[in-house]
Amino acid sequence: MNSIEIRSTILGMGISVPSRILTNFDLEKIIDTSDEWITERTGIKERRILEDGENISKHAIKASFEALKEANITPEEINLIICATLTPDYLIPSLSVLIQDGIGARNAGAFDLSATCSGFIYGLAVADQFIKNNPDWKILLVGAEALSRKTNWKDRSICVLLGDGAGAVIIGKSSEPQRGILDFVIGADGSYWELLTLKGGGSCFAPFDERLPKEEYYIKMQGKEVFKIATRMMEKIALELLKRNNLTSKDIKLLVPHQANLRIIEYLRERLGLPKEKVYINIQKYGNTSAASIPLALYEANKEGNLEKGDLVLLIAFGGGFTFGGTLLRW
């Protein structure tokens, strides 16, 4: 088979989220906010939060096992593990290596990928290229985040948004050339980097450096400015993917956007002229889970019967850095 004809596809999916639920009413007790204020501005009603002593690797491994089962393959058949995350258990070893050990994928290489909320889209693009060059490979792609561990619970501008969770997919060669990943866009604009940061833990400052305020060891965001850039870039990515594939938004069966903020999602939906039933939203249950956001949403969209064979699906993400990306695939 000529490499041009090779198309990668999702063979199986799995998710896992912590059992602890943190509602807006719970947040009312610790910061100056309200369920009404949070819901109106974000669309979030609750989020999943790791318990003390619980690590995100646990959920990454659980999601991976489910994806393997659905794909009907064994851990030994996995050739590569890619984990999109900005909150691994440790800096060394990588989260992907913990997953490799946890599922017993003894024949797999493993690496983490850091592209914030766009990480899963970046991971799909990387996996797609590996499959095109190694058609017999099976790749485990995981998006996993423990954002609660990087959250300042006194900062209501950010703590109401974030949650924890993991989603996993198995990527392999499609048995039907017309199905699978059709196209993708990835990009970045580092000129806006200061609008969304997590400085503590980087190599510019030693651990607990007195020059760095303790607030910098948590995620910080200038929300209004990020909103403007996010809406503009997500629309641009979507239109670019549609245009270069000779499609219009009417051809899309389902849009699965990064679940960052309901207002951002609604803006994108309106700009694309999509009816509400063509946009999958689960932000109300999980909040913003960064790289885990799209696999969580795609999994639930499929389980709820929103996808059928042959449907065109558009995945769109935007995250700190800034990074952005989109994937067009046929289910």
CATH of the domain at 216: 3.40.47.10
Which residues are known to be catalytic?
A: 117, 258, 288
113 and 13 within one domain? yes
Judge residue 4's burial from the number of C-beta atoms within 10 Å of its C-beta, 0-12 exposed, 13-18 middle, 19 or more buried: exposed
- Considering 176, 197, 217, which residue would you say is the last residue of a domain? 176
Query: For the residues 39-58, what does the mean pLDDT come to?
Result: 97
148 and 56 within one domain? yes
Domain around 133: 3-176
76 and 106 within one domain? yes
Cα 137 to Cα 69, 172, 182: the distances in Å are 17, 6, 18
The string of pLDDT tens digits covering residues 250-287 is 999 999 999 999 999 999 999 999 999 999 999 999 99
- Considering 146, 176, 206, which residue would you say is the last residue of a domain? 176
Q: How far is CA 116 from the centre of its chain?
A: 8
CA–CA dist 200, 215 (Å, integer): 8
If one counts the domains in the chain, the total is 2
The mean-pLDDT minimum among 48-62, 191-205, 295-309 falls in: 191-205
pLDDT value of position 204: 87
120 and 37 within one domain? yes
165 and 46 within one domain? yes
Q: Do 288 and 86 touch, CB atoms closer than 8 A?
A: no
197 and 55 within one domain? no
Share of the chain above pLDDT 90, in %: 89
Query: For the residues 54-61, what does the mean pLDDT come to?
Result: 98
The string of pLDDT tens digits covering residues 215-228 is 888 899 998 899 99
Q: Look at residue 2 and tell me whether its pLDDT is greater than 70.
A: no
Return the structure tokens found at 43.
Answer: 């669309």
Q: DSSP letters of 57-111?
A: HHHHHHHHHHHHHHHT--GGG--EEEEE-SS-S-SSS-HHHHHHHHHT-TT-EEE
Q: Is the dihedral of CA 300, 301, 302, 303 positive or negative?
A: positive
Cα 251 to Cα 9, 236, 310, 311, 325: the distances in Å are 19, 17, 11, 9, 20
161 and 113 within one domain? yes
Query: For the residues 240-255, what does the mean pLDDT come to?
Result: 96
The candidate with the shortest Cα–Cα distance to 51, out of 164, 166, 214, is: 164
- List the helix and strand counts (H, then E) for the chain: 10, 13
Q: Look at residue 163 and tell me whether its pLDDT is greater than 60.
A: yes
- Considering 131, 156, 176, which residue would you say is the last residue of a domain? 176
What pTM, to 2 d.p., does this model score?
A: 0.95
172 and 221 within one domain? no
Q: Which of the four pLDDT bands, split at 50, 70 and 90, describes residue 202? A: confident
Q: Reduced to 3 states, what is the DSSP secondary structure of residue 12?
A: strand
- DSSP secondary structure code for residue 50 in this structure: P
Share of the chain above pLDDT 70, in %: 99
Query: For the residues 184-202, what does the mean pLDDT come to?
Result: 92
289 and 205 within one domain? yes
Q: Look at residue 3 and tell me whether its pLDDT is greater than 90.
A: no
Q: Across-strand partners of 145?
A: 165
227 and 126 within one domain? no
259 and 165 within one domain? no
Question: What residue type is 280 in one-letter code?
Answer: Y
CA–CA dist 99, 122 (Å, integer): 19
118 and 187 within one domain? no
Is omega for the bond preceding 120 within 30 degrees of 0, making it cis?
A: no
The string of pLDDT tens digits covering residues 76-127 is 999 999 999 999 999 999 999 999 999 999 999 999 999 999 999 999 999 9
